[in-house]
Amino acid sequence: MSTRIADYGMLADGSSAALVDRRGSIDWMCVPRFDSPALFARLLDPDAGHWSITPTGRFDVTRRYLPGTLVIETTFTTATGAAHLRDALAVSEGQRGHELGMSPPHELLREVEGLRGEVEFDVDLVPRPEYGLVRPLLRLTDGGARTFGGPNQIAVRSPVPLEAGDACARARLRVAAGQRLGFSLVWAPPEVAPPEPTAPERVTARITDTVEAWRSWEGEHDIYQGPHHDLVLLSSRVLKGLTYRPTGAIVASPTTSLPETVGGERNWDYRYAWIRDASLTLEALYHGSCPDEAADFVSFMTSSAGGSAGADSSLQIMYGVGGEHDLSERELPHLRGWLDSRPVRVGNAAWAQTQLDVYGELLNALHLYRERLGELHPEIQRFAAELADTAARRWTKPDVGMWEMRGTPRHHLSSKVLCWVALDRAVKLAPRLGRHARTGAWAAERDRIRAAVLERGWSERRRAYTQAFDSDELDAAALLMPLYGFLPATDERMYATIEAIAQELTEDGLVLRYRVTGDRSIDGLMGKEGTFALCSFWLASTLAQAGQPDRAKALFDRVAGFANDLGLLAEEIDPRSGELFGNFPQAFSHIGLINAAAAIDHAYGALPPPDADGSP
Ligand SMILES: OC[C@H]1O[C@H](O[C@H]2O[C@H](CO)[C@@H](O)[C@H](O)[C@H]2O)[C@H](O)[C@@H](O)[C@@H]1O
């Protein structure tokens, strides 16, 4: 298994995702949903299951996403020859455009193709359902293998005979130039007939069809034409890959518990739909997206909250991808964790937290998509108005803030600013909210928030807007003030804040969310964390807005340069080692990249101005 998070690439099918490393090993795969128990979890423990197709002996490796897709092509070169390995999570046959990801077959397709000479591979299939807890009954079948019993049915087809081992199957094969060998693995629940994996001779055609499906989706979204075209398109595709197509939910990342530092306890499950992360995803996709995706997400949020965002409503800060409410967190003590970073957690205690920023992010996304969403359904009108009413009622309360700090609630500045955003956008949306609009009351409360932030958010001692009212600590979330149009980046105090963050809240020029002391005093957690990619991109965006495009571009290039060979970013970056940390790939980081690219393009005059209110 790999010891670098950056060695992994993501495959996705609109319901779930898998991670494959540079040695051709699938070390993470949850089926049928992003948050299902993993079938392969070697990412979190060497014994928790994998499926590798790896050359025997020494080899060199390069890889890429086939253009316009999330299909990975790995090229292995050995002393005796060269071969491709193509990996895809299949989508439904013939699916195109916006249908992409609907009702996927839950099938992993793998194809080895000889390019030159001959290459010998070892195939090692070690399914370990329920995050490595189960050693399944695995029997060889005619042309493959399948499992018996338990909540999963796994069936495999192989172009070469497999040998049964101890709850595993193995093979050694040789591929010659021009030869193609197709493998497939399909999942089904226990209630249905044993699933039929794709036959080896059809694997090439099914991978080609999946490639065409992705390209047809991207063809409909290739709107961004700025100088960062390839980076922006890849990031948009990653965000699409994090979307649970059946409901429109968007997960923060397809993994759990990849640590923020090796050996640390800051390990979280990101396979859920946060209002914040998903709204920001929609905002990032704005320039290349279309009404269907926004409408799906809005309907997911509204229905998950039971159609109401008012007092006693079911509105939470996050949900399961099917709209589940109870995401209770637990530890999986049988797993060692990534490089022994314990605990491994599933579920996320943040589901029950109070985070007051979410009203602003949701209303900003609604406002951004107002034209594309068309006339709002009366239920959505009521929901949007209740979001504003709730922001107006609750903004004076303390909360745990957008970083989900597990310490004592405080008056987080970014939460107040986002409540201002909620009311500002609600006032602008008022003509579309029918009888639910309360324009005057919203405008008055909006102005009260603004006055409070300007007065109590500023630290004269620090010469900056800070983390919380009446505090002196810096927090990168203050960069949201210009990004959401609360204050211009050129405002004297705002610019001083941007500089303070650039000088004092950075490591090697990359931005931290906030400084941790390592003694649980700030966020209730032990240990340190790396620099936060999203925050570095926010700094680049604000520098661009402040009229410093060259400085912004240098920072943007540096952060984007930490992406792995496939262009993927994790949540955090260690600037000294260049290693990526935290869950992977992470929506936040790719959101930041897209928005910073747009801000820089705009500052150079390469793109029309973004929506007047701005978007982080
Ligand atoms: O730092 C502690 C918190 O870390 C996670 O939250 C972070 O990830 C979320 C998903 O991307 C994001 O919405 C949030 O802003 C980030 O701080 C974790 O999910 C929390 O449980 C944890 O308390």
pLDDT of 141 above 60: yes
Ordered alpha helix ranges (H), 484-586: 492-504, 533-545, 549-560
The atom of ligand 1 lying closest to the CA of 400 is: 23
pLDDT band for 509, please (50, 70, 90 cuts): very high
Could you tell me which residue, 610 or 383, shows the higher pLDDT? Answer: 383
Query: Token pair of 466, please?
Result: 């800070």
For residue 355, how far is its CA from the centre of ligand 1 (angstroms)? Answer: 11
pLDDT band for 243, please (50, 70, 90 cuts): very high
Q: What secondary structure, in 3-state letters, does 382-398 show?
A: HHHHHHHHHHHHHCCCC
Segment 297-321 shows an average pLDDT of 87
List the one residue out of 500, 490, 489 whose CA is nearest residue 460: 500
Segment 506-513 shows an average pLDDT of 97
pLDDT of residue 287: 64
The atom of ligand 1 lying closest to the CA of 402 is: 15
pLDDT band for 147, please (50, 70, 90 cuts): very high
For residue 378, how far is its CA from the centre of ligand 1 (angstroms)? Answer: 33
For residue 117, how far is its CA from the centre of ligand 1 (angstroms)? Answer: 49
Q: 179: Cβ–Cβ under 8 A, 6 or more apart, which residues?
A: 113, 114
For residue 499, how far is its CA from the centre of ligand 1 (angstroms)? Answer: 25
Residue 284 C-alpha from the chain's centroid: 12
Q: Is 397 in the pocket of ligand 1 (CB under 6 A)?
A: no
Q: Is 338 in the pocket of ligand 1 (CB under 6 A)?
A: no
pLDDT of 612 above 50: no
pLDDT of residue 468: 97
Could you tell me which residue, 223 or 416, shows the higher pLDDT? Answer: 416
Q: Are strands 72-77 and 81-89 parallel, antiparallel or unpaired?
A: antiparallel
Which range of 260-269, 288-297, 542-551 scores highest in mean pLDDT? It is: 542-551
pLDDT of 609 above 70: no
Q: Report pLDDT digits (tens) over 246-267.
A: 999 999 999 999 998 888 888 9
The atom of ligand 1 lying closest to the CA of 529 is: 1
For residue 300, how far is its CA from the centre of ligand 1 (angstroms)? Answer: 21
For residue 420, how far is its CA from the centre of ligand 1 (angstroms)? Answer: 22
pLDDT of 18 above 70: yes
Q: Is 252 in the pocket of ligand 1 (CB under 6 A)?
A: yes
At 33, which amino acid appears? R
pLDDT of residue 311: 77
Q: Are strands 107-126 and 72-77 parallel, antiparallel or unpaired?
A: unpaired
DSSP character for 491? Answer: S
pLDDT band for 295, please (50, 70, 90 cuts): confident
The atom of ligand 1 lying closest to the CA of 349 is: 21
Segment 457-475 shows an average pLDDT of 97
Instruction: Report cis status (omega within 30 of 0) of the bond before 398.
Output: no
Q: 376: Cβ–Cβ under 8 A, 6 or more apart, which residues?
A: 384, 432, 433
Exposure on the CB side of residue 362, measured as CA atoms within 13 A: 30
pLDDT of residue 264: 81
ipTM field: 0.95
Q: What is the mean pLDDT of the chain?
A: 94
List the one residue out of 3, 39, 2, 34 whose CA is nearest residue 21: 2
- Whole-structure pTM value: 0.95
Residue 141 C-alpha from the chain's centroid: 38
Neighbours of 230 (CB within 10 A): 10
Percent of the chain with pLDDT over 70: 96
pLDDT band for 519, please (50, 70, 90 cuts): low
pLDDT of residue 262: 86
CA-closest residue to ligand 1 atom 3? 404
DSSP character for 97? Answer: G
Best residue among 256, 265, 268, 418 to mutate for probing ligand 1's pocket (most ligand atoms within 8 Å of CB) is: 268
pLDDT of 611 above 60: no
Task: Answer whether 477's CB lies under 8 Å from 403's CB.
Answer: yes
Segment 456-470 shows an average pLDDT of 97
Name the residue with tokens 């992470």: 586
For residue 52, how far is its CA from the centre of ligand 1 (angstroms)? Answer: 32
Query: Token pair of 560, please?
Result: 């984007």
Domains of the chain: 5-216 (2.70.98.10), 222-603 (1.50.10.10)
CA-closest residue to ligand 1 atom 11? 252
Q: Report pLDDT digits (tens) over 181-199.
A: 999 999 999 999 989 999 9
Best residue among 260, 265, 319, 403 to mutate for probing ligand 1's pocket (most ligand atoms within 8 Å of CB) is: 403
pLDDT band for 487, please (50, 70, 90 cuts): very high
pLDDT band for 526, please (50, 70, 90 cuts): low
For residue 561, how far is its CA from the centre of ligand 1 (angstroms)? Answer: 24
